[in-house]
Amino acid sequence: MAVVNPLGTVGVDIDGGVAVITLSRPDRLNAVVPALVDDLLAAFDIVQSAGGEVRAVVLTGAGRAFCAGHDLKEQSAPGDTRLRLERIQDVTRRIRSAPQPVIAAVHGYAIGAGAEFALGCDLVLAADDAVFAFPEAGLGLSVTGGASRLLPLLVGPVRAKELLLLGERIGALRAREIGLVNAVFPAAGLLDAALGWANDIAAKPGYAVTLAKRAVDSGIDSTLEGALELEVSHALVTDATTEVAESSARFRDRGRNAS
C-alpha cells in the first residue's frame, strides 16, 4: 500500500478504493490520548479529501491490540474535560457521517474507548483473540462515544446493561453470538478478511453504498446526538470523584500485573 500521510499516532494508507486507518501507539496498546484522537480525526479528513476515490475504510490497530481504551497514565489538564470528551465523541460523529462504510478490524484488546470506536463503525470484524469490555462503571466513569445509544441497538438493552454494569471481558466468539461483531477470523487473516470485505464494497457503485449506509443510520442517528450530550453530562459528574482516581490506580496495577 502507498502511504498517503503518516501522522504521529495514526497511519493512513490508500490503495485503490480502500483506505486503511491504523491506530499506531503499539507500545501502549494504542491507548487513547488527545494526540491520537486529533490524528484519528485528521486521518478521516485525509480520506475525505481523496473524494470519490475512496469507497471503503478499514480501521485497525498496530501491534498486539486494536485499542486498550484511555491511557490512564496520561493526566488530563484541569478544566478541559468537556472539550476532551466532545473531541473523542467527534470520532463517532466522523465515522458515522463518512459517506464510505467503515469496517473495524479488531484484534487483541478493544476496551472502553476502543470498544466504542468499534461500535461507531458500520461493520465489525474480529480476530479470534479479540477481547471487548466496557469497564467504565467499575472505574467510576461513564461511557462516551455514543455507546449508550449504539450498544443497545446492537445487542439489545438488557444485554447492553449486562456489559456496562458488570464490565466483564468477552471474547470474539461471544461477541459474535450477541451481535457485537459481524464475523470472526483467525488473527493472522483478519486484515486480509477486512480488506476483502472493503474491496467488495468498493467495487459497488459509490452512491448506492452511501445511500444504503445513510438509510440505516437515519433511524439510529435521530437520537444519537441526545445520547452523546447525556454522556458528556454524566462524564463531567464522575470526573471529579475520588473514586475515579482510586479505581484508575487499581486498573493500572492490574494492567502491570497482567503484562
Q: Which residues are catalytic?
A: 116, 136
* Strand ordering across the sheet containing 131-133: 109-111, 131-133, 170-171
Would you state the torsion angle of the CA atoms of residues 114, 119, 124, 125, taken in this order, to the nearest 10 degrees? 30
In DSSP terms, 23 is beta-bridged to 10, 61
Strands 131-133 vs 170-171: parallel, antiparallel or unpaired: antiparallel
How far apart (Å, rounded) are the C-alpha atoms in residues 211 and 217?
A: 10
Q: Which residue has the cell 461483531?
A: 181
Alpha-carbon distance of 189 to 207, in angstroms, equals 30
Between CA 178 and CA 230 the distance in angstroms is 26
Q: Are the CB atoms for 24 and 67 separated by under 8 Å? A: no
Number of Cβ within 10 Å of residue 106's Cβ equals: 33
Q: What are the cell numbers at 149? A: 445509544
C-alpha cell read off for 104: 473495524
- The whole-angstrom separation of Cα 160 and Cα 92 is 18
Side chain identity at residue 59, one-letter code: L
